[in-house]
Homo-oligomer: A and B are copies of this chain.
């Protein structure tokens, strides 16, 4: 196994978030699944957009958000994902590259357009996501460069992208390439509804030992294991996953690796503005700690700090200086 030249390479949805505040009555009236991620077609996307208030556009995509956090923390990263040859695709690609992330997937010509996620944010900061995958679902396995995948310490994959067929095939191929090169595979379960659709695949991958680091929130853990009880869920998985990370919203997070068990409280914040990206940025902090060889405690604390930053403002891309925020753990940017 040669030396890794990248810290993390990720495959994920390449989508732009379109976000607006809304009241609870609108969620009800539109029949939205509060707090969840629902895939929508063109007609439904138009219907929801028409009902949405004045919005702002910020690049999103779960794994891309995680990379944005990792890159802001100083990790070397690359992204693989599919945008169309249009203005939103240009926005997404700009934001990824401007964040210092390598991104070489060619644009896809013609329809459908670049994907977007219509996010309704209720006064409690909860986000309800409606994703029009667009070009994102046509990421071809040919977009992978297996040499690049083999050059990264960690391959990071988002469960959201398991829905469309082509990217699923691409991710399976990427897992093979990473494992053959002796690299780690990290996977986030993304959403309980994704597990309803693809839980059998995920469980098979875990049984086969293909996942080295698994991220889940407590709801996803229950959906995957069939155990509503948090500890029962962890007990069922811990022997099969070398590093298991379970977030619990305001109740903090747990990481388990073999016999090690670590916990962290959520960082106190003034006001939850928008929870979009909380899990993505938790994963960013945790993975940064992991590739830097830190212990579970530090990894969890880094995750909690990054998650707290992202929920204190709109959008799932970091705004504050993550290096400064994590300096108590990683050392000041000058020294580290």
Contacts and interface: CB of A to CB of B under 8 A. Distances in A.
Interface string A122-151: 000000000000000000000000000000
Interface in A36-91: 49-50, 52-59, 68, 86-88, 91
Interface in A80-128: 86-88, 91, 94-95, 98-99, 113-114
**Identical copies of this chain, number:** 2
Given A87-B86, A88-B87, A57 B56 contact: yes
Nearest to A84: B87
A251 B114 CA distance: 45
| Most B-side CB within 10 Å, residue of A54, A95, A113, A317 | A54
24 contacts: A18-B91, A20-B98, A21-B319, A49-B94, A50-B94, A53-B98, A53-B99, A54-B59, A54-B68, A54-B94, A54-B95, A54-B99, A54-B317, A55-B91, A55-B94, A55-B98, A56-B57, A56-B315, A57-B57, A57-B58, A86-B86, A86-B87, A87-B113, A87-B114
Nearest to A101: B54
Contacts of A94: 49-50, 52, 54-55
A190 to B, nearest CB: 22
Interface string A284-317: 0000000000000000000000000000000101
Contact of A55 (B49, B52, B53, B95): B95
A130 to B, nearest CB: 15
A319 B98 CA distance: 26
Contact of A98 (B52, B57, B113, B315): B52
Chain A interface, >50% SS class = mixed
| Most B-side CB within 10 Å, residue of A98, A99, A319 | A98
| Most B-side CB within 10 Å, residue of A52, A55, A86, A114 | A55
Contact of A56 (B20, B58, B68): B58
A54 B49 CA distance: 24
Contacts of A68: 54
Contacts of A114: 87
Nearest to A90: B49
Sorted nearest first, the 5 A-B pairs with minimum C-beta distance are A57-B57, A87-B87, A54-B95, A56-B58, A54-B98
A73 to B, nearest CB: 14
Contacts of A55: 91, 94-95, 98
Given A53-B98, A55-B95, A87-B113, 15 more contacts: A18-B91, A20-B98, A21-B319, A49-B94, A50-B94, A54-B59, A54-B98, A54-B317, A55-B91, A55-B94, A55-B98, A57-B57, A86-B86, A87-B87, A87-B114
A153 to B, nearest CB: 23
A312 B91 CA distance: 25
